Structure formats: structure tokens, C-alpha cells
A and B are shown apart, each in its own frame.
Chain A
Amino acid sequence: MKKFLSKFYLTLIFILLYAPIATLIVLSFNASKTRAKWGGFTLKWYFELFQNDAILEALSNTLIIAFLSALIATVIGTAASIGINAMNRHLKTIFMSVTNIPMLNADIVTGISLMLLFIAFGVRFGFSTILLAHITFNIPYVILSVMPKLKQIDQNTYMAALDLGASPFYAFYKVIVPDILPGILSGFLLSFTMSLDDFIITHFTKGSGIDTLSTKIYAEVRKGIKPEMYALSTLLFVSVLFLLIAVNKVPKQRKES
């Protein structure tokens, strides 16, 4: 009985989480242009998607910004984590408090504050301001992913590597990096996802003349969303889903053999 209730509850939550996603996937095959009516099955939007330069450009902006911001945030954040981990309690607390600010602060405040900064220093709004903003809110995700892994590391393993004649860089590369790699990877993936899904901060830091998928969708809300957008999101979602299933399958097989 208890098991049944648990399963039932899990299913309900699952429906809540995925009902909108299913809706969007269905809409991507809807021949009718309006959301409200089902006009029969079509693949039209998938073909038209690849002719729509504006959407494709927004997609490429989104992906490039997500990749670059995640990469740069991962490098800065990982280095920062190692530095913070070597600090005394007091300094560590200060650094971690600063790190928590973008995590806990409202996106609208972060977006506005960065916008004011760029205005005050006369930075031209565009690709670079979005990138700077995304790196800023991604670094904390990397630090909070890597720090727990660093804490788990036995300090003696690094010492042992030095004792056995390794240079500090070699010891770091051979002993520390493999241990914190899962944290670095999950920090990168989390950053990439957060950047991809961000609207609010991009909204305040983009200026005119450039769009990511989010800002493009927001601009279309009043006029009505182009069905190509549904097709594109469906493609994105399904490819990530398959990628994740593939990644999850591989290590399992390795374990069994």
C-alpha cells in the first residue's frame, strides 16, 4: 500500500513536470498555426525551421554563449576552488559568501546591476556583455560543484606525489585533477544548462541587435510564438535526452564486464 502510494505520488509529480514538455512536443507537429487548435499532423515546421535564419542565428548565439561561458566559468571556478580550499577559515567564509550572492540573489537584481555597470563604463551592449554576464552567474555553480570534491581529497595524496618526486604541477595534474574531475564536469554541464535556460539576465544585458532563443521567444510572445520554435525545442530536448541515456548506459556496461 505504502509502495503504491509512493509510486502514485511520483507519477503525479512526473506528470506535473513533463506535461508542458509533452504539450510543446505535440504542438511542434500541429499543422494549425495557433496554439489553441489541433489542425492535423505535420512535419512542416521542422523543414521551415532550417530556412528561418533568425531562429538559427538565435540558436547559434545561444549555443556559443552557453559553451564559452561554461568553459570560461569552469576554468576560473576550478582554479578559484583550489585557491579557496587552501585558505584559512576566515578568508574561506568571505569568499564563499561572495560566491553565494549570484546563486541566491534575484536574477532581476543581478541583471540590472550588470546592466548599470556596463552603462557606467560605456561597454557596448551585445554578444560580449551577455557572455560576461553568463560567466558571472555560472562561476558559482562550478565552485559549488568542485568544492565538495576537493574537501573529500586526502591532503596526503598530494604530499605523497611530491614525496615521490613529482613537481607540484605534475602532482596536481596526476593526483588532484582525476579526483575532482566529476565535480568539474558536473559544474560545466550545470553552467551550460543554466546559460541555455537563462532569460532574465540576458534580457537586461543584451541590448538591441542580438537575440538568444530566450529573448527571441519573449519578443514573440505578444505576436504569437512561431511553431518553428516548438520544433527546435523538441529537437534540442530529444537530442539531450538521447545523449543522457547513452552516457548513463555506457558506465553501467563497463561495470558489468
Chain B
Amino acid sequence: MNKKWLSGPYLFWAISFIIIPLVMILYYGLTTKDGSITFENILQITTNTNVKALVLALLLSIVSTIICLILAYPLAMILNQLDVNQNSFIVLIFILPMWMNFLLRTLAWQTLLEKTGVINSVLTLLHLPTLNIINTPYAIVLGMVYNFLPFMVLPIYNILIKIDPNVINAAKDLGANSFLTFYKVILPLSWPGVISGITMVFVPSLTTFVISDLLGGSKILLIGNVIEQKFTQANNWNAGSGLSLVLMVFILLSMAILSKYDKDGEGLI
């Protein structure tokens, strides 16, 4: 059986375009412009601006992840109870918005959230207080939830549809009411999907620079913005790489947690 060799091109590709580039970040992050080893780039994280940016990014991404989880779990449960034949239809509903550009979709929230925007016009019409969250961290959280919600829904949904209905019947049969059935059986069994979802929402939220750019009025700096500016404006690749290495600590941490709970990656797609 020489089928193994079919993955040869991929092996070459993965080494060239996944592994070596990561080594490059490590190299740039640990050296100065003239090539000598330093920890200076990594220590840049301790400057006042950068600590603030990292803490704010952590805060906003954690809040977004929690909101996504709260919104997505009941949603996945409702979707699971729909007709099984609609499986691909459900996935499509979440994939379809991606055909309208990510930047435009996010920008559209500006139109919706503006002082005289659609949402506020409706609120005024109903004699309700207006919502003034554009260019605040709240708008950034909204943008994160909006963009990354599908990545929380789909993994949970994918796990829920695999649970044998008889396992849930068995819990009821043994005397569990709806709450206990959920808490003792459904929730623990769906854990891999939840962890996948958390990772898939937390990492892009933590590292985004686009959403904060578009909805934060370019006054709010997240760690992603800082890194992006180091590359595109300051042309300081070493500092940018050093900060990326700090970011990767958080990413690696969540990847490690994920691989512990979802060994087969069954919750990913």
C-alpha cells in the first residue's frame, strides 16, 4: 500500500507554507534588525499602550465568546429539532452571508447603528431611548458576535445531531426531568462542540484588527491593530513578530485545550 505517498505534495506544502513561515515569525520575533538575538521585541508587550491593547482585546473577545455561546447553544438545539432533511439548508443559511464581503457586512452595521441610522429611527418611532454605541467597544463586540456566531453554532450543531435520541430518552426513562436531562447528559456530550466553538470564536476575536477599525472609529486599539500597524505603517517586522509571538501563546493555549476535548476535530466543520 503506497497510498501514503499521495500526501507527499501536501507534506511539501505544509512544510513550506505552514511550518517554515511560523519559524520565520519566531526568528524575526527573537532578533533585532541586524540579526542578533534579543527579547526586546517580546518585551514590547509591556509598554503602556500595548498592555492596554492586549487587555482590551482579551476583555472584548471573552465577552464576545460568552455572548456567542449563550446565543448559539439554544439556536443549535432548535436547529437540531428541525427536520433532518434540512441539514444542508441550515449550514447554507450560515455560509450564505459570506458571499457578501466581510468588510461590507461589517460596515453595514455603521449604517444601522449610526445616530440617525436605521435602528435609532425605529427606536425613535417607538418612543424608545436611542442607542449610541457606534465607535465604542460595544459596537466592536457586536461586530465580533455578528461575524463569528456561525463558528459557534455549527460545531455545537454538528455534535448535537450525532447524539443518539435514545440516550436522551434513556435519561428521561430513568427519571430525569428536562433540566436534568440537559445538564447531566446533553451538555456533557456536546462539550467537544462547545470547546471547538469557543476556540473558533475566541481566536479571531482576540486577534482582529478589522472589526475594531471599522466599528471602533479607529480610536480604539486592540492588540491586532498594534501588530498590523507595526507591519504596514512602522515597517518594524521584528517588533510585530515579537508581539505576534505573545499572541500565539494565547492561541496555542486554546488549541491545546481544544485538542484535549475534541481529539478527532469532529466539531470543526
Question: Which residues in A have some Cβ–Cβ distance to B below 8 Å?
Answer: 6, 9-10, 13-14, 16-21, 23-24, 27, 35-36, 76-77, 79-87, 91, 95-110, 112-117, 119-120, 132-133, 135-136, 139, 141, 143-145, 148, 190, 193-194, 196-200, 204, 213-214, 217-218, 221, 225, 229-230, 233, 236-237, 240-241, 244, 248
CB-CB under 8 A from B3, the residues of chain A are: 82-83, 85-86
CB-CB under 8 A from A21, the residues of chain B are: 97, 100, 105, 108
Which applies to chain A's interface (DSSP): helix, strand, loop or mixed?
Answer: helix
CB-CB under 8 A from A114, the residues of chain B are: 17, 21
CB-CB under 8 A from B95, the residues of chain A are: 190, 193
**Given contacts A144-B265, A196-B99, A233-B100, A104 and B199 within 8 Å (CB-CB):** yes
Contact of B8 with A by CB under 8 A? yes
With both chains docked as a complex, state the minimum distance between the C-beta of A89 and any C-beta of chain B, in angstroms. 11
The CA-CA distance from A148 to B110 in the complex, in Å, is 40
CB-CB under 8 A from B149, the residues of chain A are: 13, 16-17
B103:A97 contact, CB within 8 angstroms: no
B231:A115 contact, CB within 8 angstroms: yes
Contact of B207 with A by CB under 8 A? yes
Contact of B255 with A by CB under 8 A? yes
30 A/B residue pairs, CB under 8 Å, sorted by A: A16-B146, A20-B146, A21-B100, A24-B105, A77-B10, A80-B6, A80-B7, A82-B6, A95-B11, A96-B265, A97-B259, A106-B206, A114-B17, A115-B231, A116-B28, A132-B17, A133-B17, A190-B269, A193-B95, A193-B98, A197-B98, A198-B102, A214-B101, A217-B104, A221-B103, A225-B104, A240-B99, A244-B96, A248-B89, A248-B92
CB-CB under 8 A from A190, the residues of chain B are: 95, 269
B268:A103 contact, CB within 8 angstroms: yes
The CA-CA distance from A196 to B200 in the complex, in Å, is 19
- A218: nearest residue on chain B (CB-CB)? B103
Contact of B81 with A by CB under 8 A? yes
- A194: nearest residue on chain B (CB-CB)? B98
Across the interface, A112 reaches (CB within 8 A) one of B111, B114, B200, B231, namely B231
CB-CB under 8 A from B210, the residues of chain A are: 199-200, 218
9 A-B pairs besides A79-B9, A233-B100 with CB distance below 8 A are: A13-B149, A17-B93, A21-B97, A79-B6, A79-B10, A86-B6, A96-B265, A107-B207, A193-B99
Across the interface, A108 reaches (CB within 8 A) one of B10, B105, B224, namely B224
Tell me the number of A-to-B contacts counted with CB atoms below 8 Å.
Answer: 229
The CA-CA distance from A6 to B81 in the complex, in Å, is 10
A86:B4 contact, CB within 8 angstroms: yes
A24:B108 contact, CB within 8 angstroms: yes
CB-CB under 8 A from A113, the residues of chain B are: 21-22, 24-25
CB-CB under 8 A from A27, the residues of chain B are: 108, 111
- B25: nearest residue on chain A (CB-CB)? A113
Q: Mark B69-107, 1 if CB is under 8 A from A, else 0.
A: 001001100100100000011001111111111111111
CB-CB under 8 A from B110, the residues of chain A are: 35
The CA-CA distance from A196 to B105 in the complex, in Å, is 14
> How big is the B interface, by class?
35 or more
With both chains docked as a complex, state the minimum distance between the C-beta of A151 and any C-beta of chain B, in angstroms. 9
**Given contacts A13-B71, A23-B108, A113-B25, A83 and B7 within 8 Å (CB-CB):** yes
B5:A83 contact, CB within 8 angstroms: yes
CB-CB under 8 A from B98, the residues of chain A are: 193-194, 196-197
CB-CB under 8 A from A116, the residues of chain B are: 21, 24-25, 28, 237, 241
A213:B244 contact, CB within 8 angstroms: no
Contact of B139 with A by CB under 8 A? no
The CA-CA distance from A162 to B268 in the complex, in Å, is 34
With both chains docked as a complex, state the minimum distance between the C-beta of B204 and any C-beta of chain A, in angstroms. 7
Interface positions, chain B 7-59, Cβ under 8 Å from A, are: 7-11, 13-14, 16-22, 24-25, 28
**Given contacts A20-B109, A193-B99, A244-B96, A9 and B7 within 8 Å (CB-CB):** no
- A225: nearest residue on chain B (CB-CB)? B107
With both chains docked as a complex, state the minimum distance between the C-beta of A216 and any C-beta of chain B, in angstroms. 9
Q: Mark B114-137, 1 if CB is under 8 A from A, else 0.
A: 101110000000000000000000
The CA-CA distance from A104 to B3 in the complex, in Å, is 27
B7:A241 contact, CB within 8 angstroms: no
Among B5, B6, B146, residue most surrounded by chain A Cβ atoms (within 10 Å): B6
Contact of B194 with A by CB under 8 A? no
The CA-CA distance from A61 to B261 in the complex, in Å, is 40
CB-CB under 8 A from A9, the residues of chain B are: 74-75, 78
CB-CB under 8 A from A86, the residues of chain B are: 1, 3-4, 6
